[in-house]
Amino acid sequence: MSDLTISTRGLGKAYRIGREREKSDTLLTAFGQGLAAPFRNFRNLTGLNTFDQDDAADDLFWALKDVSFDIHAGETVGFVGANGAGKSTLLKVLSRITDPTRGEVRLRGRVSSLLEVGTGFHPELSGRDNIMMNGTILGMSREEVRRKFDEIVAFSGVEQFLDTPIKRYSTGMKVRLGFSVAAHLEPDIMIVDEVLAVGDADFQKRCLGKMEDVASRGRTVLFVSHNMGAVQNLCSRCMLLKGGRIVEDGNPGDVIRTYLSAYSTGAETGFSDDNELRETTGPLRFTAGRMLDAAGNEIQRPVSGETTTFELDVENSGVPMAARVRLIFKEKDGNNLFALHSGMSGKIMTVGGRSKIAVTLDRLPLLPGSYRIGAAIISSVDGVSDRIPNAFLFDIEASTFFPSGDYPPRRHGGVLMDGEWTVHTETSAR
């Protein structure tokens, strides 16, 4: 067994959340409450951190509950889970930024946490000063930063502006500078939160490459991301958090599959009869809908670039009839992206009683983000029979649509297409 580097036992972290106070209903009580405000404020502020005795209090929120695991040197562990599942709190406890309310962590070796790019950057200071500052904050010694200084500068590509205050830098330059410093850390344990979310594709790739580098040298990397592709590619192990607990721990492929199906709460469907936007006017109506992955498992969060099936249950209260189905894919703000028409695809479907209608996209061509699908079923006899503008609401997880793993910025377009590239060079006559 390789060396144990991190061990947690029964880790718990509670935060106090505000409790609604009684409303005053007369002028007199309102006045009284106004006078009492400083005392109440004092009690509330004091109470912010005094929850050790009474953990059953109704305004305590347990961001982490009974988390126990062992991590060994050389492991790259990804933490996945919906927003609010406790991933960031866990990283903060492991980085010693905040203390656990219960339980304990044992760590061995030098820890660097990268919860943000460019921590401690001061806008008034020059790039040079900020490199020194940021490096020291991240745990390098002065000597170490000095030794790697030229390398860091070259990596960042801001040589020209080294003596300019960074308040005059563009956002991209600041990110590059911050990342260059972080990339030159040599910790035993590296803790990385969603920092990939900030940079452009090139930046993300460099960051991932650097992390792979760190892990391959026998160091331990802990990694939180919503980019399932990155977790899958990078991690040797993955833990799924839900409601502050670790609900699954194992092979990244399996854990991610669990996360994308059962434990995510991202998707909603609008197939309820109470849906106010729904217009049912004919005998054909949708009763349910679901999204499936390549293996036919139901998923809540489709993955960009993966084979995805949209399946609809249809009921026909009348005689069997030919029908067409239309799905319109829209961005969260309602902007239409593309549509799938069974009729245009040349498929005439006869629907009687209960039927399942499905359409499969080989490579889901959407950027990570939030989407909705409007569904309609059209009878060949009397036109639109049932229309649900918000049939599916879901988030798409990032992965590798393109071989490079990069995504174009959303402003370049909302739909992903991959093409066959060739190059033909005419050799000039000598």
Residue of 65, 92, 174, 278 that binds other proteins (CB under 8 A)? 92
* 49: amino acid identity, one letter: N
- CA distances to 230, 264, 327, 361 from 368, in Å: 13, 15, 19, 16
How many residues make up the chain in this entry?
A: 430
User: From the CB of 295, what's the least distance to other proteins, in Å?
Assistant: 38
Mask 11-40, x = binds other proteins (CB under 8 A)? Answer: ----x-------------------------
Site map for other proteins, 200-219, x if CB under 8 A? --------------------
64-85 residues labelled b (16+ CB within 10 A) or e (exposed): bbebeeebebbbbbbbbbbeeb
Distance of closest approach, residue 41 Cβ to other proteins, in angstroms: 9
- SS3 (DSSP) at 131: helix
- Helices 171-183 and 127-137 meet at what angle, rounded to 10? 40
> 3-state DSSP call for residue 336?
strand
Cβ nearer to other proteins, comparing 12 with 270: 12
Query: Nearest Cα to 200, choosing from 175, 221, 231, 181?
Result: 175
Considering beta carbons, is residue 72 or 237 the nearer one to other proteins?
A: 72
Site for other proteins in 142-181 (CB under 8 A): 142, 165
Residue number with CB closer to other proteins (140 or 215):
140
Q: Does 59 bind other proteins (CB under 8 A)?
A: no
Instruction: Give the closest residue to 399 by CA, choosing from 327, 326, 299, 319.
Output: 299
CB of 138 to other proteins, least distance (A): 7
**What gap in Å lies between CA 373 and CA 393, rounded to an integer?**
7
Q: Helices (H) and strands (E) in the chain — how many of each?
A: 8, 18
3 token code pair: 């060396």
Asked if 93 touches other proteins (CB under 8 A), the answer is yes
Indicate which single residue of 37, 48, 348, 358 sits in contact with other proteins (rule: CB under 8 A).
48
Count residues contacting other proteins (CB under 8 A)? 45
Q: Minimum CB separation from other proteins for residue 415, in Å?
A: 37
**Cβ atoms of 290 and 344 closer than 8 Å:** no
Question: Does 129 sit near other proteins (CB under 8 A)?
Answer: yes
Indicate whether 220 belongs to the interface with other proteins (CB under 8 A): no
Q: Is 238 in the site for other proteins (CB under 8 A)?
A: no
Indicate the residue among 106 and 410 with the shorter CB distance to other proteins: 106
* Interface ranges with other proteins (CB under 8 A): 4, 7, 15, 42, 45-46, 48-49, 52, 70, 92-108, 111, 113, 115-116, 119-120, 122, 124-125, 129, 132-133, 136-138, 141-142, 165
